[in-house]
């Protein structure tokens, strides 16, 4: 079953002299439960694509079907609801609120979404940080903060987790730990994961690798033998 069916989307930013064609006719299906890596150089349109998949932004043209439902022309209010109900985001920067503890940061997100939740405590256990729940972000390492931000994203049990360079600010070993957590969530909770990277090595853990260049998909390659994150060397 396809979670996403994306037909010929374009995205144009600005107009006149400042016009940028960020996506030029992207078509793609994403199967439910897969771990998908979007690979491409800086400026190739990866974040633009991810933001459109997550309902953070509208495409200029084309069609996006999510879980059988056309979300292409939802207005801002409906798009916000779609996001709350279905999407978890993880970014390179952790965006935790500094005055809230780890647990409060995760709870805050479950409160603003009225979904079946797996709960903040459970989400923290899944990322392996139950024992840090009363710590403040400044008392946690970068990798731990990123795992808290993952817990925050999964507490509402989203159908899909969209990750924009989640290990971009982390060293090698910490990055692997974070990728392990994401792979684990994908396997055990059957959450579809779409992860952006410019690392060929990280792409080795994917079920499917989408290669982008200049706002277009060069190829989508199924990987018959994805590596576990700790088998990857880079
Ligand atoms: N808000 C924006 N306004 C204007 N141009 C943008 C905006 N966001 C991205 N772009 C441009 O769109 C292109 C694709 O950007 P982006 O999707 O961020 O690429 P990537 O994530 O692969 O680095 C780039 O040329 C970038 O400069
Ligand atoms: Mg980007």
Where residue 43 falls (left for φ over 0; alpha for ψ -120 to 50; beta otherwise) is left
The pLDDT of residue 110 is above 80: no
Q: How is the beta sheet containing 2-13 ordered, strand by strand?
A: 20-31, 2-13, 61-66, 69-70
Share of the chain above pLDDT 70, in %: 97
Nearest ligand to the CA atom of 92: 2
Read off the pLDDT of each residue in 62-85 and give the average, rounded to a whole number.
Answer: 93
The answer for residues whose C-beta is within 8 angstroms of residue 139's C-beta and 6 or more apart is none
CA–CA gap between residue 49 and residue 62 (Å, rounded): 12
Percent of the chain past pLDDT 90, that is, above it, reads: 90
Rounded to whole angstroms, the Cα distance separating 147 from 166 reads 10
- Residue 113 is predicted with a pLDDT of 65
> For all residues of the chain together, what is the average pLDDT?
94
- Which stretch of 25-29, 76-80, 97-101 has the lowest confidence by average pLDDT? 76-80
The whole-angstrom separation of Cα 115 and Cα 84 is 8
Comparing 31-40, 50-59, 72-81, 132-141, the range with the smallest average pLDDT is 72-81
Q: Is the CB of 40 under 6 A from ligand 1?
A: yes
Q: Which of 215, 193, 217 is nearest to 205 (CA)?
A: 193
Q: How far apart are CA 217 and CA 39, in angstroms?
A: 10
**What pairs with residue 210 in β-bridges?**
38, 220
Beta bridge partners of 37: 195, 209
Q: Which of 143, 154, 207 is nearest to 177 (CA)?
A: 143
Question: Residue 116's pLDDT band (boundaries 50, 70, 90)?
Answer: low
Ligand 2 geometric centre to CA of 133 (Å)? 30
Question: What is the pLDDT at residue 73?
Answer: 87
3 state DSSP class of 24? strand
Q: Say what the pLDDT of residue 212 is.
A: 98
Residue 119: pLDDT band (50, 70, 90) is confident
Average pLDDT score over residue span 75-100:
94
- Give the nearest ligand 1 atom to 41 CA: 22
- pLDDT for the residue numbered 94: 96
| CB-ligand 1 contact for 147 (6 Å cutoff) | no
- Mean pLDDT confidence for 91-107: 96
pLDDT of residue 30: 98
**Residues 179-192: what's their mean pLDDT?**
96
98 lines ligand 1 (CB under 6 A): no
pLDDT value at residue 170: 94
pLDDT at residue 142, as a whole number: 97
- What does the pLDDT read at residue 108? 86
Q: What is the pLDDT of residue 114?
A: 62
Alpha carbon distance 6, 18 (integer Å): 26
Distance CA 221, CA 8 (A): 19
Q: Where are the domains of the chain?
A: 32-58+87-231
Exposed, middle or buried: residue 197 (CB in 10 Å: 0-12, 13-18, 19+)?
buried
What pLDDT score does 3 carry? 98
Q: Determine if ligand 1 sits within 6 Å of the CB of residue 18.
A: no
d(CA 82, CA 231): 36
Question: Ligand 1 centre from 59 Cα, in Å?
Answer: 13
Q: At what angle do helices 102-112 and 142-154 cross, to 10 degrees?
A: 20
Give 32-58+87-231's CATH code, choosing from 3.40.50.10420, 3.30.300.210, 1.20.1740.10, 3.40.50.300. Answer: 3.40.50.300
pLDDT at residue 117, rounded to an integer = 65
């Amino acid at each position: 079953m396809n979670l996403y069916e994306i037909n010929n989307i374009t995205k144009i930013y600005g107009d006149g002299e400042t016009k940028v064609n960020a996506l030029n006719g992207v078509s793609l299906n994403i199967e439910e439960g897969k771990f998908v890596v979007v690979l491409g150089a800086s400026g190739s349109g990866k974040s633009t694509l991810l933001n459109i998949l997550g309902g953070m932004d509208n495409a200029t043209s084309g069609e996006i079907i999510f879980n059988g439902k056309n979300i292409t022309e939802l207005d801002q209010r409906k798009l916000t609801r779609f996001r709350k109900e279905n999407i978890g985001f993880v970014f390179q920067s952790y965006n935790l609120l500094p005055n809230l503890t780890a647990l409060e940061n995760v709870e805050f997100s479950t409160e603003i979404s009225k979904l079946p939740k797996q709960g903040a405590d459970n989400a923290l256990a899944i990322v392996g940080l139950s024992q840090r729940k009363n710590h403040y972000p400044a008392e946690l390492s970068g990798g731990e903060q990123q795992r808290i931000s993952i817990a925050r994203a999964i507490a509402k049990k989203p159908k899909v987790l969209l990750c924009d360079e989640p290990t971009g600010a982390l060293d090698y070993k910490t990055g692997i730990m974070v990728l392990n957590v994401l792979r684990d969530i994908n396997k055990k909770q059957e959450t579809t994961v779409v992860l952006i990277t410019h690392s060929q090595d990280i792409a080795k853990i994917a079920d499917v690798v989408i290669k982008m260049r200049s706002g277009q998909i060069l190829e989508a390659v199924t990987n018959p033998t994805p590596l576990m994150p700790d088998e990857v060397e880079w």
